Amino acid sequence: MKLASPDRPLIMRGVERTSLGRFLLWLVPWLALLAFGLYGAYLCLALGLNQTNLDNRFAFGLWIFLDLAVIALGAGAFFTGFLLYILRREELADLINSAVVVGFVCYSGAVVILMIDVGQPLRAWFTFWHPNVHSMLTEVTFCITCYLLVLFIEYIPIVLRNRRLRRIPAFLVFEFNLHKVMVVFAAVGTFLSFFHQGSLGGLYGVLQGRPFAFREGFAIWPTTFFLFILSAIAVGPAFLMLVTRLAEALTRKRLVHPRVYTLLGRISGWLLVSYVLLKSVDTLIWLNRTAPAVGFLGHDFYVHAAFGTWILFAEIVLFGLAPALMLLIPRVRQGRWAIVAALLACFGIALNRFVMTIQTLSLPSLPFDKLLLYWPSWQEMASFLAVIAYAVILFSLSYRYLPLYPRERELQADRDPDSVAPRAASRTTLAVGGAGAGTLPTSRR
């Protein structure tokens, strides 16, 4: 018998996983990073936020920026769910499980960081008990909490599909029934995500005191509300593409059918194009109407060398239009450049969140002020690295023990991805027939 890993009985049948030793070796640096980050987070919680380089002027910093970016990247979870369960794009069944896990780690990580970021985490429930329904942050808090619950529920069936857990009839049956109603969770998740992604945009869009971020809009929602939703669903699929490609590269295996990438690329491309278009219109309206109405010319926002007009160009053209067009060209989106395009798009969304949070706060608001600068402390960076380590660890564990890519076994059995039918006998050089049994071992009569 092949010397199997001790955890082999926990791993799905028919798929290859590296040995337990190598897997643990892979986890070690991430666990170390997690421990280091947890120490940083502990310092912030125990000694207070003086451990950070945040201050009265720069009240939001690295954490809020990365939270917004991570939540935008995690949008792939709800959007894939929406496409699969509501719009019935069955191809995406290949990767819905991994999308759920990606969404779960992104959102739970962001929530953990938020809990460190606030000065009084034990009062987090106040927002639920005494909500100010006019605040965008209230909407964000309610929606993200509910959506995290949805993601958790969506994660349950994936966990219960573990080979060992499936043996327990109660788990098997619960997983089966939960999966049958997944469409409800997908719909609720879509509704919630729509609002909190938007509210995260509204968070800054409503700041009348910050003309750089302030936008007019419809009803109570500034235009950033809608732009954040659009950008999140545009880049969510691109991020999933990146994660899956990365997983394929690390495991040296094909995990999803190539047509999934084509579909993700097409969706991402079209949404990105519409986002860039609307973002440009919004920027023009802001520069020519919204900002001048409160006495600012577009020029005023871009006089500082660090935040010159190049950042606007980079955000809209380099990391917006360029990847969008790349993903729209079929040849490009099927080739290797699709990864570059997805990377650019993800970077673009992070840059957008950076501009909305960090740049907004660093531009002086008082007429006699200078540009404000801020550099995160190691505690801030470490806490966030802990989230990344947590994400990698949870994803690795899920990949190893849970059916993250349901078609992996099929694609592995048949290296030719375009054919799922049994391989033609001609490729088996030794046909089975007559009395013999091909290359099967025989003993002399």
Within 153-212, the residues that bind other proteins by CB under 8 A are: 153, 163, 166, 169-170, 172-174, 176-178, 180-181, 184-185, 188, 191-192, 203-204, 206-211
Helices (H), 161-222: 163-166, 169-180, 182-205
Amino acid identity at 393: I
309 touches other proteins by CB under 8 A = no
Give me the sign of the Cα torsion angle 150, 151, 156, 161.
positive
Q: Please report, as residue ranges, which positions from 250 to 279 form the binding site for other proteins (by CB under 8 A).
A: none
Cβ at position 139, least distance to other proteins in Å: 7
| Interface with other proteins (CB under 8 A), residue from 4, 284, 371, 397 | 4
The DSSP 8-state label assigned to residue 421 in this structure reads S
By beta-carbon proximity to other proteins, the closer residue of 38 and 165 is 165
Q: Please report, as residue ranges, which positions from 360 to 419 form the binding site for other proteins (by CB under 8 A).
A: 360-361, 365-368, 403, 406, 409-410, 413-414
Q: Are 128 and 142 in contact (CB under 8 A)?
A: yes
284 touches other proteins by CB under 8 A = no
- 262 HSE (CA, 13 A, CB side): 7
127 touches other proteins by CB under 8 A = yes
Cα angle for residues 186, 234, 156 (degrees, 5° grid):
30
Integer CA distances (angstroms), 283 to 230, 288, 429, in order: 15, 8, 64
Tokens for 250, please give them.
């690390």
Q: Please report, as residue ranges, which positions from 30 to 49 form the binding site for other proteins (by CB under 8 A).
A: 48-49
Q: How many residues bind other proteins (CB under 8 A)?
A: 112
Q: Please report, as residue ranges, which positions from 52 to 71 form the binding site for other proteins (by CB under 8 A).
A: 54-60
- Nearest-angstrom CA–CA distance, 247 and 195: 30
Cβ at position 7, least distance to other proteins in Å: 11
How many Cβ atoms sit within 10 Å of the Cβ of residue 17?
Answer: 18
By beta-carbon proximity to other proteins, the closer residue of 331 and 443 is 443
Q: Where is 222: in which H helix or E strand?
A: strand 221-222
By beta-carbon proximity to other proteins, the closer residue of 207 and 332 is 207
By beta-carbon proximity to other proteins, the closer residue of 192 and 338 is 192
303 touches other proteins by CB under 8 A = no
Cβ at position 110, least distance to other proteins in Å: 14
Tokens for 391, please give them.
């994400």
Q: At what angle do helices 169-180 and 136-160 cross, to 10 degrees?
A: 130
| Interface with other proteins (CB under 8 A), residue from 25, 294, 303, 317 | 294
By beta-carbon proximity to other proteins, the closer residue of 49 and 339 is 49
State whether residue 218 is helix, strand or coil. Answer: strand
| Interface with other proteins (CB under 8 A), residue from 26, 38, 142, 237 | 142
Tokens for 107, please give them.
């959102």
Cβ at position 181, least distance to other proteins in Å: 5
Amino acid identity at 325: L
Q: Please report, as residue ranges, which positions from 88 to 117 form the binding site for other proteins (by CB under 8 A).
A: 117
- Tell me the residue length of the chain: 445
